[in-house]
A and B are shown apart, each in its own frame.
Chain A
């Protein structure tokens, strides 16, 4: 499926070793492609290398073998400041443990990556941040401090933050791990909509069966290898 579409992300022979506490091969030559507008979920047992792979795909981890292409551009071996720029413009993140900046309001948390991008004026960024929060149903929490809202709300703020720069790729590590089924469904719907309507690509590591069932493709991993690409 989707063979006619653009390849947005391509991994070739990714190999990753951990040296602490003992040498351990976390990824064993992983190669795969992700097309534009895909809603890809990555499943597998804990310790199968999902998160390790996500960190490499996110360009934050640069200590690996193999090659990684994003939008056709080879990012392997690029300078860290350049990679930071790519992350800012093209990649949105949702982390497993939400990771907001606790001293800032939810609104500010959402705004910060956009302020960094410096593409829109402050007012426009604020407006867009409100829209994203509204999309996730937490507009009322906008002016609360990020550390003072519930875990589920924090997670949704983190998702809103991931969306703020309209990234080509949204990467999530257990995006619905803290959400009840109602909010899980909201998030899944949003992701589907982003993929189909806006052509954004979602790559999500998940344990949630509901989540992976509703994605357009499910890639399964085991012991640092891809078991099935889910084509």
Chain B
């Protein structure tokens, strides 16, 4: 053993008191393990819920916002005669003008992954007497598939059939069940402005989100335009996906300026989901932080106890020429060793816990428990663990540095 003398002393202290060293490290292990596990839970869960959102919601949606007409004469002082006005939505049409230009502009932007146009049509699905209302999305199915991965949700049929069959429709499984319709059957639909059409069912999809499965269908853009009695340039929405969905709010303003229309990011479109996400983060974060804090107190206690028991040793070391810095160094090293071993085992414990939980089957649209190994969580867990251990060891170590050997020798 040819360590630096301070390290040597620190190691000897730890090794001659194995039990306490192990207990102190175990405190860190449990703290870090649970911390990483909990945060991974939250991250995994959030990721899963984001993914399910992105199956139907783009990162950014560009559309024309309804405008309320303003009175020509601005309302003045109340003392004047009241002018009765009846404000109405002033948009003549909610189409985006020159969508091709907007799409090519967007596509040339940095960080833009996918751009696709869409027309939403409120329709009724009819089969005999039964009628269900819902929304048909007029899409370019290949582009829409790139964005929402519709293919993975298909129960029957193929998305390509929609492209090859201009009068095809892909139905949500809920609609198909209620209307007792299978692939290759025909379905009659009526739009909100009374245009009717008979379409061939080329596919059925299931997202496990009943509000989507029971209402939504995909049709071709041209069919949607016909249902609304609109020209072939009519487009209501342009969907944009970017590389990192978390940055969507930053692009919202940018794209609004670029296109002249409202670009709504998915976060503001799903405020309640975001609020829940935030709540989960804070909740689990504070629980695991509390656990870490308890572990830190454990370390503080043990280092403090060690130092109290080692007062004599500290006095001797100081008498034989060790400075306050050296003494502090020794005890900081002891905490570091406890912290490092504890953290390493904590990472292992977290890995084992995550591994087991990821094998638990929940069912529904969740499937296996949504938890995953996140590099960032591990790194931040390890850093926080080391930091807390060091902070817990620092205070007693500093006190040890201040020990006056004379006081001890005179006892």
Contact = CB atoms under 8 A, between A and B. Distances in A.
Contacts of A93: 319-320
A159 interface: no
A171 to B, nearest CB: 10
Contacts of A218: none
A112 B5 contact: yes
Contacts of B5: 112, 115-116, 118
Interface stretch (A29-37, A94-102, A193-201, A219-227): A94-102
Nearest to B327: A84
A161 interface: yes
Contacts of A117: 321
Nearest to A113: B320
B8 to A, nearest CB: 7
Q: Pick from B16, B325, B405 the residue with the most CB of A within 10 Å.
A: B405
A112 B320 contact: yes
B3 to A, nearest CB: 9
B192 interface: no
B12 A116 contact: no
A87 B319 contact: yes
A55 B406 contact: yes
A58 B409 CA distance: 13
Given A103-B13, A112-B9, A122-B2, A88 B406 contact: no
A76 B296 CA distance: 41
Q: Pick from A87, A102, A161 the residue with the most CB of B within 10 Å.
A: A87
A190 interface: no
Contacts of B2: 122
A60 B13 contact: no
Interface string A50-80: 0000010010110000000000000000001
Contacts of B409: 55, 95, 99
Interface in A173-213: none
A85 interface: yes
B321 A85 contact: yes
B91 interface: no
Interface string B305-346: 000000011011111111111100000000000000000000
B326 A116 contact: yes
Interface string A144-166: 00000000000000000100000
A128 interface: no
A168 interface: no
A99 B312 contact: yes
A116 B324 contact: no
Interface residues of B, number: 25
B312 to A, nearest CB: 7
A89 interface: yes
Contacts of A58: 319
B13 A116 contact: no
A100 B316 contact: yes
A195 to B, nearest CB: 21
B313 A101 contact: yes
Interface in B24-54: none
Interface string A6-21: 0000000000000000
Contacts of B324: 80-81, 84
A103 B12 contact: yes
B315 A116 contact: no
Nearest to B6: A116
B16 A84 contact: no
A198 to B, nearest CB: 20
Interface string B361-373: 0000000000000
Contact of B323 (A60, A80, A89, A108): A80
Contacts of B317: 101, 112
A113 B326 CA distance: 12
Contacts of A95: 316, 319, 409
A84 B321 contact: yes
A80 B328 CA distance: 14
A172 to B, nearest CB: 12
Interface string A111-130: 01101111000100000000
Given A55-B409, A99-B312, A116 B321 contact: yes
Contacts of B8: 108, 115
A122 B354 CA distance: 46
Contacts of A99: 312, 315-316, 319, 409
B321 A87 contact: yes
Given A87-B319, A89-B321, A103-B12, 11 more contacts: A60-B318, A61-B406, A81-B324, A85-B321, A85-B323, A95-B316, A100-B316, A103-B16, A113-B320, A115-B5, A118-B5
7 tightest CB-CB pairs across the interface, nearest first? A88-B321, A115-B5, A84-B323, A81-B323, A103-B16, A113-B320, A87-B321
Interface of B: 2, 5, 8-9, 12-13, 16, 312-313, 315-326, 404-406, 409
18 contacts: A60-B319, A60-B404, A60-B406, A81-B324, A84-B322, A87-B319, A87-B321, A88-B322, A89-B321, A93-B319, A93-B320, A95-B319, A95-B409, A103-B12, A112-B9, A112-B317, A113-B320, A116-B5
